[in-house]
Amino acid sequence: MPSSRDVVFVDGVRTPFGRSGPKGLYAETRADDLVVRVIRELIRRNPGLPPERVDEVAIAATTQIGDQGLTIGRSAAVLAGLPKSVPGYAIDRMCAGAMTAVTTVAGGIAFGAYDVAIAGGVEHMGRHPMGEGVDPNPRFLSEKLVDPSALVMGMTAENLHDRYPSITKDRADAYAVLSQEKAAKAYADGKIQPDLVPAAIRTAEKGWGLAVEDEAPRPGTTMAGLGGLKTPFRPHGHVTAGNSSGINDGATGCVVAASDVAAELGLSPKMRLVSYAFAGVDPEVMGVGPIPSTERALRLANLDISDIGLFEINEAFAVQVLAFLEHFGIADDDARVNAYGGAIAYGHPLASSGVRLMTQLARQFGERPDVRYGITTMCVGMGMGGTVIWENLA
Spatial separation of the C-alpha atoms in residues 354 and 102, rounded to whole Å: 9
Q: Is 0.75 topped by the overall pTM? A: yes
- pLDDT for res 131: 83
Q: What is the pLDDT of residues 259-299, one digit of tens each?
A: 999 999 999 999 999 999 999 999 999 999 999 999 999 99
The verdict on residue 134 lying in a domain is: no
In a domain, 311, yes or no: yes
Query: Does residue 233 belong to any structural domain of this protein?
Result: no
Residue 60 lies in a domain: yes
CATH of the domain at 47: 3.40.47.10
Residue span of the structural domain in which 387 resides: 7-126+246-392
In a domain, 237, yes or no: no
**What's the mean pLDDT when you consider all of the chain?**
96
Residue 326 belongs to a domain: yes
Tally of domains within the chain: 1
Residues of the chain with confidence (pLDDT) below 70: 1-3
Catalytic annotation, pick one of 95, 128, 161, 238:
95
Could you confirm whether 379 is annotated as catalytic?
A: yes
User: Active site includes 327?
Assistant: no
- Give a yes or no: residue 87 inside a domain: yes
